[in-house]
Amino acid sequence: MENTLQLDDNAKIFLYCGIGLYILVIVFIGYIAGKRVKGMGDFLVAGRRLPLWMATATLLATWFGAGSSMGVASTVYSDGIGGVIADPFAAALSLILAGIFIVGKLRHLRLLTVTEIIERKYGKWAGVYASCWLIPVYIGWLGAQVLGIGTILKMLFDLPISYGTLIGAGLVLGYTIAGGMWAVTLTDVVQVSLIILGLLMIVPGAIEQAGGFDTIFAGVPEAHLSLLPHCSSFQDWIYYIGQWCIMGLGCMVGQDLIQRSLSSRTEKIATVSAILAGVGYLGIAVVPLTIGFAARLVLPELQDTNMLLPLMAGRVLHPIVFTIFLSALLSAIMSSADSSLLAASSLITNNIIRPFRPHLNERDLLQLTRVFTLMVTIVALLAALQVQSIYSLMINCWASQLVIVFLPVVAALYLKKAGPRNCWSGMLAATAVWFGALFYLLTFTADGIVPPLRWAMSDRVMTIASMYGFLAGVFGFLASYLVDRWSKHISSPELEANE
């Protein structure tokens, strides 16, 4: 069975011209958006002027990237629905939960980043510590997206994947560094429209080539069609729950999500847009699931599963439609890549540099943000070139959001009497147990024996260790908080009662 894209010369010329034109349009949008950037407020949160439709579109485009399209399709091909619990199912849940509990409150505070509330509530160093754990999240996420671009360019032009990844990173860097959040939002509106259209066009042909729905699902094992757990041990349960929690809870406090909510015109828009994006994302994500199952029959001997989605599109679509589809796929990937790039550079400048250099003016901060945007891109490239699986890189990079950041942010919003000592107790306990569990699982358990340089890429080990770290953080925070409440009540019961 063929594992490469077969197009005649005319089709290739049309394809290359179409994608080239699309790229020029995106770069032009970034250039125009750059003219609207006058300061950090414009660059980081688009001047807080996004209406409901733009806020929803940019959230949906951010969530639907290489992992949600190429990664989900390839993982379903290999492992079934049970392999993609984290994304799309838990990821969609995170948007809905964030809309209900988080984003409206943060928008009301008029912040620039999610960890700024930790800094305000628990002190400068707590904000810096949390930010340092968030930045690698977006470096890994950016790496997953540019790896997706490299995979597509490898298929189209027979380039080494490293060259394609480098080209993709340069393109995303160009328009993001010019226009910031304005460029990201405007391109997202174009990108989310194309990806929905492109994915919907491929499904009928994929189902037809596979022999129809009945044929597709007749040979699929029942376990591959269920989200229910198949656990035989305690660690199996921890792993299953962790797949839901890392994305479902961790992504609620993601800088990419919060940055779009902070860009919304009002608190209500921030809330409603997140909920709408979550529901819409779950609906759209069904499409790559279907394509992944169909590909089991159409491409039964596929070796590089990362290429599954573009290969299926090439088999079932007319060259004109295929050009639209690949433009849509590149759209989805770039919309997530630019979000990650902007999130990481925002955290570095606003939450690590600014607290120690308060005298810097808006212009200096803006220039620093652009410099760090370049540096983040370089580090993400190095990460991408070391990893084979888009989905693996995507999922493992979210762990620290749940382990380190989730509880302090939620506590700052809902637990008003919590103080810096409680925050540090939770974060340090979580960090210590997380790394202790990683070391133990990778050293003494049979399923954790992997080369040291690929520790973070062992899905099961990372997920289980993350859950132990998260639970330790919750225990450390609450134990410290209850001790403080009890001590204060003993020393001054009347004051405690008045509070």
Summarize pLDDT for 96-122 with one digit per residue, the tens.
999 999 999 999 998 888 999 999 999
Q: Residue 409: pLDDT above 70? A: yes
pLDDT at res. 312:
85
d(CA 18, CA 198): 14
Lowest mean pLDDT among 139-148, 320-329, 337-346: 320-329
Lowest mean pLDDT among 17-21, 369-373, 376-380: 17-21
pLDDT at res. 277:
93
Q: Residue 125: pLDDT above 50? A: yes
Q: Which of 162-166, 215-219, 310-314, 465-469 has the highest mean pLDDT?
A: 465-469
The mean per-residue pLDDT over the stretch 362-377 comes to 84
pLDDT at res. 454:
44
d(CA 299, CA 227): 24
Sequence-distant (6+) residues with CB within 8 A of 232 are: none
d(CA 38, CA 177): 13
pLDDT at res. 448:
45
Distances (CA, A) of 265 to 15, 58, 153: 39, 14, 38
pLDDT band with cut points at 50, 70 and 90 for residue 128: very high
Query: What sign results for the dihedral spanned by CA atoms 165, 171, 174, 176?
Result: negative
* Tally of CB atoms within 10 A around 372: 20
The mean per-residue pLDDT over the stretch 328-332 comes to 72
Cα-to-chain-centroid distance, residue 20: 26
pLDDT at res. 325:
75
Share of the chain above pLDDT 70, in %: 84
pLDDT band with cut points at 50, 70 and 90 for residue 466: very high
The mean per-residue pLDDT over the stretch 376-395 comes to 69
Cα-to-chain-centroid distance, residue 391: 11
Fold (CATH) for 9-398: Sodium/glucose cotransporter (1.20.1730)
**Residue predicted with more confidence, 44 or 318:** 318
pLDDT at res. 1:
42
Lowest mean pLDDT among 20-34, 113-127, 381-395: 381-395
What's the token pair of residue 427? 């974060």
The mean per-residue pLDDT over the stretch 303-309 comes to 77
pLDDT band with cut points at 50, 70 and 90 for residue 225: confident
d(CA 38, CA 368): 14
pLDDT at res. 455:
43
**Residue predicted with more confidence, 152 or 478:** 478
The mean per-residue pLDDT over the stretch 154-165 comes to 79
**Residue predicted with more confidence, 394 or 289:** 289
Helix (H) or strand (E) holding 315: helix 308-316
Nearest to 398 by CA among 247, 230, 176: 247
d(CA 295, CA 439): 38
Whole-number average pLDDT of the chain = 82
Q: What 3-state DSSP class applies to 50?
A: strand
Whether the Cβ atoms of residue 4 and residue 155 lie closer than 8 Å to each other:
yes
The mean per-residue pLDDT over the stretch 121-134 comes to 94
**Residue predicted with more confidence, 79 or 479:** 479
HSE, CB side, 13 Å, CA atoms: give it for residue 232: 0
d(CA 130, CA 116): 10
Task: Name the β-bridge partners of 50.
Answer: 264
pLDDT band with cut points at 50, 70 and 90 for residue 419: very high
The mean per-residue pLDDT over the stretch 328-345 comes to 77
HSE, CB side, 13 Å, CA atoms: give it for residue 150: 23
pLDDT band with cut points at 50, 70 and 90 for residue 33: low
Q: Residue 478: pLDDT above 90? A: yes
Distances (CA, A) of 82 to 222, 227, 468: 11, 5, 22
pLDDT at res. 357:
84
d(CA 103, CA 254): 11
Residue 274, phi-psi category: left (phi > 0), alpha (psi -120 to 50), beta (remainder): alpha
Q: Residue 253: pLDDT above 90? A: yes
**Residue predicted with more confidence, 379 or 406:** 406
Give residue limits of the domains in the chain.
9-398, 415-499
pLDDT at res. 7:
63
pLDDT at res. 494:
57
Whether the Cβ atoms of residue 178 and residue 30 lie closer than 8 Å to each other:
yes
d(CA 338, CA 187): 10
**Residue predicted with more confidence, 402 or 205:** 402
pLDDT at res. 169:
84
pLDDT at res. 323:
76
**Residue predicted with more confidence, 303 or 431:** 431
* Helix, strand, coil percentages, rounded to 5, for the chain: 85, 0, 15
Alpha helices, H only, 158-254: 161-210, 213-218, 234-248
Q: What 3-state DSSP class applies to 264?
A: strand
